[in-house]
A = this chain, B = another copy of it.
Amino acid sequence: MTPQLVTTIAELRSLLDRHRAAGRSIGFVPTMGFLHDGHGSLMRAADHDNDIVVVSIFVNPLQFAPDEDLASYPRDLDHDREVARSNGVDLLFVPAVEEMYPQGEVLTSVSVAELSARWDGASRPTHFTGVATVVSKLFNIVGTCRAYFGRKDVQQLAIIRRMVADLSIPVEVVGCPIIREHDGLAMSSRNIYLSAEDRAAAVVLRRALDAGEQALYAGERDPAAVAKVMTDVVAAEPRARIDYVAVVDPLTLATPDRIGAETQLLIAAFLGQTRLIDNAAVRTRPESS
């Protein structure tokens, strides 16, 4: 069934209130559009768990710095509607910037200070405050729901989980696996920016994560040593330039002195002008059950 296109906050609220009043559960997938199968996997998870699935498409100006790619961020609503249709989406919420920010200037900001300062936040200082602000607004609009986020943006996921807990937002946050191309590159709307050569070289992010994971499995417990293994893989690819490589605790995203049972490997690198991120969650001890 073709999803219903909704462009105003009032109409979305009224539709969702009616569904909730009828006892139907709501699954919500916030996106910036230009949907790929990573988004598709979130929609399928939302469709599996809930009666009604709403997907938002909003390229949020707050999370772009002035020198970033807001104006050129890829858009294709026809294709997005098709991805939504084929993944069981009921409502497609596509508000204009004026609908979301009618007063123009947004004076209010939501931020999760400590989790936002490092890694992607160090490279993009205002980014996560923009994300947390718009996601909390979208949660207020959608209301009680399950919300689906990809683990590819794992720092974003940690920030949103913490925001939801700290502010008692009535949303259950569900983190979903990273969806990859056949050669291992994590799906991203920004992959379209890559030249053919950079696209081929971009698999180096996944290869670096694999090397870090293998070092952990081999018993390495020093975060700096694991990071060096990863860095060396990227350094061997002349088209890639490292932004950061990190070996961190999954909850705090801080680098531990010594690696524990669960570790999050993070990597960000430039291929040409395009900055890509990827990550892997690694459990270094067998699960006891």
Contacts and interface: CB of A to CB of B under 8 A. Distances in A.
Interface in A103-122: 103, 106-115
Given A140-B168, A140-B169, A143-B170, A162 B107 contact: yes
A140 B167 contact: yes
Contact of A113 (B13, B107, B132, B143): B107
Interface string A236-251: 0000000000000000
A201 interface: no
Nearest to A165: B103
A166 B108 contact: yes
Nearest to A163: B108
Contacts of A141: 168
A9 interface: yes
Interface residues of A, number: 30
A133 to B, nearest CB: 7
A101 B167 CA distance: 9
Interface string A123-156: 0000000001100110011010000000000000
A112 B9 CA distance: 22
B167 A110 contact: yes
B108 A109 contact: no
A166 B107 contact: yes
B112 A170 contact: no
A212 to B, nearest CB: 27
Interface in A1-28: 9, 13, 21
Contacts of A166: 101, 103, 106-108, 137
Interface of A: 9, 13, 21, 101, 103, 106-115, 132-133, 136-137, 140-141, 143, 162-163, 165-170
16 contacts: A21-B21, A107-B112, A107-B113, A107-B162, A107-B166, A108-B110, A109-B112, A110-B110, A136-B136, A136-B167, A137-B166, A137-B167, A140-B167, A140-B170, A141-B168, A143-B170
Instruction: List the 8 closest pairs (A to B, CB-CB), nearest first.
Output: A108-B166, A140-B168, A108-B163, A137-B167, A108-B112, A107-B112, A141-B168, A140-B169
Given A21-B21, A108-B132, 10 more contacts: A13-B170, A101-B166, A107-B162, A107-B166, A108-B162, A108-B163, A110-B167, A111-B111, A137-B166, A140-B169
